[in-house]
Every structure is written in C-alpha cells, then in structure tokens.
Amino acid sequence: MELDIQFFVSNLLLGIGLAMDAFSVSLANGLNEPCIKTPKMLGIAGIFGIFQGLMPLIGWFCVHNLVRYFKIFEPMIPWIALLLLGWIGINMIRESIKGDDCPCGHAVGFNALLVQGVATSIDALSVGFTIAHYDLPHALLAVALIAAVTFVICFAGIGIGKKAGTKLAGKAGILGGSILILIGLEIFITSFL
C-alpha cells in the first residue's frame, strides 16, 4: 500500500467525523470549568485523542484476530455510550444544582475523563473494519492521524466552552451536563436508524 494524498485526506476526514462527539464533550467540560488552565486543557484533549486513536486500532486488531467476538459486542456499543455519558451528565447537573456557584465551576476528575474518553470513542471500534485492509504500519499511521485531529478539535472545544462558561457562570454545569446526556442519546438513537 502506498502513502498518497488520498490516504491522508480520508484518514483526516475520518478523524474529524470521529472527533465530533469528543468535541461536544470537550465543549461541555470547558463550560463546566471556565477557569481551566492550559496544561489541563492539553491533558483532556490528549485523553480524547488517545482514546479516539486507540479504539480504531483495537477494532483493526479485532478484525484481524477476534472478529467473531467483536460482532457479539457491537450491539452493546450504543447502550454503553448512553449509560456512561448519561451518568456523567446527571452527576454534572446534580453538582451544579447543589453547588456553591463557584465562578470557576467544578473540575472534571481524571476518572470521569477516562469514562468520557471511552464513551465518546467506543463507536470508533467499528472503524477498525474500515481500516482492516491496511497493514500494521499503515493502520498505526491512520490512528495517529485520527488521534492528532481529535486532539486539536477537542482543545478548541474546551477553549470555546471555557469562554462561554465564564459568561454563563453557575448555569454552565447544567448546560454541560445536558450536552453530555444529549450526546449519549444521539449516539444511542442514531445507532438504530
């Protein structure tokens, strides 16, 4: 397989498409924590990038080694995304309602970020089927492009949410949690259409 412009364009576009859920969650995180510092923004974007790159690689591995097991797991993906994002969103709303109206919002913890990373990227497992015809070096390059695109898009999402969250003050957590719940519902509903 040759590395040509089509390879890069198709994988960059794939990365953009896969990053949209993570972008929305990043936006919600920025809304929820408007005083977030740049190192944490980089860390959050990095977590989403890693998961968006890792899941297609796991899917690629499954296609080449465990395809019959992955097919059994595939119908559960929308349910898992709905449960994880719904749980995080409800907790975010609950903290905002009972919160102390701190102008800097409530920080999203590392464990919650890992759950968000899994929830927003679990549908990317199926991308392993899309890149199944790649050999391992090309698959690694494809997932690196997907991860890089996700990182940039999520960093921008956090920044946009941060600016809007500063203006919304105490209501930002409610909005952010609602966004997470809606993303979970969107993933769930579109999987059946």
Mean pLDDT value across residues 142-165:
92
Q: How far apart are CA 193 and CA 188, in angstroms?
A: 10
Residue 103 lies in a domain: yes
- 182 or 172: which carries more pLDDT confidence? 182
What percentage of residues in the chain have a pLDDT greater than 70?
Answer: 83
Residue 20 lies in a domain: no
For the chain, the average pLDDT equals: 82
Task: Please name the amino acid found at residue 138.
Answer: H
Residue 13 lies in a domain: no
Residue 19 lies in a domain: no
Q: State CA 72 to chain mean position distance.
A: 23
Residue 114 lies in a domain: yes
Mean pLDDT value across residues 129-154:
91
Residue 112 lies in a domain: yes
HSE-CB of 30 using CA atoms within 13 angstroms = 23
Tokens of 129: 């089927």
End-to-end Cα, the chain, rounded Å:
34
Q: What residues make up the domain containing 140?
A: 25-190
Tell me which H or E stretch contains 118.
Answer: helix 110-121
Mean pLDDT value across residues 63-86:
72
pLDDT score of 190: 81
The residue count for the chain: 193
- Helices and strands per DSSP (H, E), number in the chain: 8, 0
Residue 3 lies in a domain: no
Residue 192, judged by CB atoms within 10 A of its CB (0-12, 13-18, 19+), counts as: exposed
Confidence grade of residue 169 (pLDDT, cut at 50, 70, 90): low
- 192 or 147: which carries more pLDDT confidence? 147
Counting the structural domains of the chain, the total is 1
Residue 17 lies in a domain: no
CA torsion, ordered 22, 28, 29, 33, to nearest 10 deg: 160
- 173 or 89: which carries more pLDDT confidence? 89
- Model pTM score: 0.74
Note whether 99 and 106 are within 8 A (CB): yes
Tell me which H or E stretch contains 22.
Answer: helix 5-32
Q: How far apart are CA 167 and CA 170, in angstroms?
A: 9
Mean pLDDT value across residues 165-170:
62
Q: How far apart are CA 108 and CA 128, in angstroms?
A: 30
